[in-house]
Amino acid sequence: MQVHTVATAPFTDQKPGTSGLRKRVPVFQQAHYLENFVQSIFDTIAAPPNATLVLGGDSRYYNREAIQTILKMAAANGFGRVLVGRGGILSTPAASCLIRKYRTHGGIILYASHNPGGPEGDFGIKYNTANGGPAPEKITDAIFAQSRLIAQYRIAEAADVELDRTGEYRIGGMTVSVMDPVADYAGLMESLFDFAAIRELFKGGFRVRFDAMHAVTGPYAREILVNRLAAPADSMMNAVPLPDFGGGHPDPNLTYAHELVEVLYGKDAPDFGAASDGDGDRNMILGRHFFVTPSDSLAILAANAHLVPGYRQGLAGIARSMPTSAAADRVARALGIPCYETPTGWKFFGNLMDAGKVTLCGEESFGTGSDHIREKDGLWAVLFWLNILAVRKQSVETIVLEHWARFGRNVYTRHDYEDIPAEAADGVMKLLHDSFAELQGAQFGPLQVKLCDDFSYADPVDGSISTGQGVRILFTDGSRIIFRLSGTGTGGATLRIYLESFESDVAKHHLDAQYLLATLTGIALQISELHKRTGRDRPTVIT
């Protein structure tokens, strides 16, 4: 094997965000751009000789080309084996599963989450550590620092690997194992859930519709739902992964998964609907003519975990991101277990799970998971819901309404203002920071401000401090308004407003969330001057 040492110069824009480096495809296609970042990862993690690496992606445009480059660089950097998904495919949850099962040194996942794909779309790359979870900030900061210093990278001269056929291949002294991307993950799901009960549910005529949004979960859902659980083949929608996701936006929410929403809110709707995103780590849950917020979904899974084989032993604790509603906190109190509030980003849950402090965790951005891996897991959440439905034999709507009757309803919504000028978004956030003093104790009709701050988090496991995690405006009655700039986009800025209030009156539980939160929405727009500063008169997405 001939190894080339290629001279290069640093790029200034390779700082990883919340979950890795995300840019437009043409940026990654620049000479040396991908190679620089991959070499920076390898230089930072300092893997021992002959270490094993997991590699795969979400099928998006440039995935296969990037994999071939990374394989040759891994060989040149002394790795002994790389486990890669057939066709270059590995969902993010499946990659975490493989890292943990085969005890690899970590993995490189090629994805851009729920962002659009295609030649002019988005691409991304992140490193997951040996626990299967996203690299913590100390590692991503070190990778960025190395990317600012890099002067050369190493790459082997070798033929491309045949990615579409399982088997073992060689690049010099390194073995490339092309694996079935679904088998190990599906086996893990079968160990957690009562597949026999779910099969009986389908056998009894229960109808489901799963929208893979032409993204990575199509093969996973088909194998599990259709092949192993005997759901009808027409339970699947958009199940073939495509490099451009069929021209769609693979984000499982009420706006972008509109095909599924139309089915579940149409005539003769199925009993249950679900969608997952580009890399398979997010989920949206629907009943017949009924939407379950991600915050409520986490709380309901926790309250019903005793019905599911993999969780009957009880929960160590629950964790949620700060913008996620406090619905899970109420369940934790009832169960007598802790509930942790963390910044947004799955890496913050990893320490808690590794320390045995939490079992279930979730984010309002349609991400839910548990300690079975170290990533959020869209299909896992769907199977958890199906297991509960199989045991309780009630509709999704009935289960949610009974949950609210028992715990009260945390009325919740998120308003996304996408792709706005970065200067305008920064101006809104600066105005809010500058207004903390005058907002403290301010009265807005019946609501009084109790606290304004920028959320910070002290990790209870390693003591690390994370600051600047989102502006919070907390009211004396428990209502909340939160403003946060998202770290998942690649163009402009996405400003998110989270609104929450608590409603104990069962007679009001059926009312629309936007109606119940209208007063908070008005306050948020008033104090942020968002419409004036951004030129937007309505959100891009409401969930």
Q: How many contiguous H segments (helices) and E segments (strands) does the chain have?
A: 19, 27
Q: Which of 357, 344, 372, 345 is nearest to 99 (CA)?
A: 372
Per-residue model confidence as pLDDT tens digits over 316-341? 999 999 999 999 999 999 999 999 99
Amino acid (1-letter code) at residue 364: E
User: Alpha-carbon torsion 152, 95, 346, 377, what sign?
Assistant: positive
The dotted CATH code for 2-180 is 3.40.120.10
Do 414 and 498 touch, CB atoms closer than 8 A?
yes
Classify the C-alpha dihedral 216-219-225-229 as positive or negative.
negative
Whether residue 160 has pLDDT greater than 70: yes
The pLDDT tens digits for 83-131 are: 999 999 999 999 999 999 999 999 999 999 888 999 999 999 999 999 9
Q: pLDDT tens for residues 16-44?
A: 986 799 999 999 999 999 999 999 999 99
DSSP 17: B
- Domain regions of the chain by residue span: 2-180, 185-407, 409-542
Q: Which residues are catalytic?
A: 113
**∠78-92-179 over CA atoms, to 5°?**
60
Q: What pLDDT is recorded for position 18? A: 67
Residue 486 is predicted with a pLDDT of 79
Give CB contacts under 8 A, 24+ apart, made by 234-239.
Answer: 235/207, 235/208, 235/209, 235/210, 235/270, 236/210, 236/212, 237/209, 237/210, 237/211, 237/212, 237/263, 238/211, 238/212, 238/213, 238/214, 239/210, 239/212, 239/214
Query: In the predicted model, is pLDDT for residue 51 greater than 70?
Result: yes
| Reported pTM | 0.94
Across 343-350, average pLDDT: 88
Task: For residue 379, give the H/E element and its range.
Answer: helix 378-392
In percent, the amount of the chain with pLDDT more than 90 equals: 92
- Determine the Cα–Cα distance for residues 70 and 63; give it in Å rounded to an integer: 11
Burial of residue 255 (number of CB atoms within 10 Å: 0-12, 13-18, 19+): middle
In the structure encoding, which two tokens stand for residue 451, read together? 């606290």
Q: What pLDDT, in 10s, does the model give residues 410-429?
A: 999 999 999 899 999 999 99
Tell me the pLDDT of the chain averaged across its residues.
95
pLDDT average, residue stretch 234-245: 96
Query: How far apart are alpha carbons 176 and 270 in whole angstroms?
Result: 43
Q: Which CATH number fits domain 185-407: 3.20.20.140, 3.40.120.10, 3.30.465.10, 3.30.420.40?
A: 3.40.120.10
Binned at pLDDT 50, 70 and 90, residue 203 comes out as very high
Using 50, 70 and 90 to split pLDDT, how confident is the model at 136?
confident
pLDDT of residue 502: 95
Same topology, domains 2-180 and 409-542? Answer is no
Q: Which fold has domain 409-542?
A: TATA-Binding Protein (3.30.310)
H runs (alpha helix) in 204-252: 217-221
Q: Specify the pairing of strand 167-171 against strand 174-179.
A: antiparallel
Interatomic CA distance for residues 103 and 48, integer angstroms:
14
Does 489 have pLDDT greater than 60? no
Check residue 19 and give its pLDDT: 73
Q: What would the pLDDT profile of 260-316 be if each residue is shown by its tens digit?
A: 999 999 999 999 999 999 999 999 999 999 999 999 999 999 999 999 999 999 999
User: 488 pLDDT exceeds 60?
Assistant: no
pLDDT at 543: 85
82, 97, 180, 211, 409 from 187: Cα distances, Å = 21, 10, 12, 22, 36
Per residue in 506-523, pLDDT (tens digit) is: 999 999 999 999 999 999
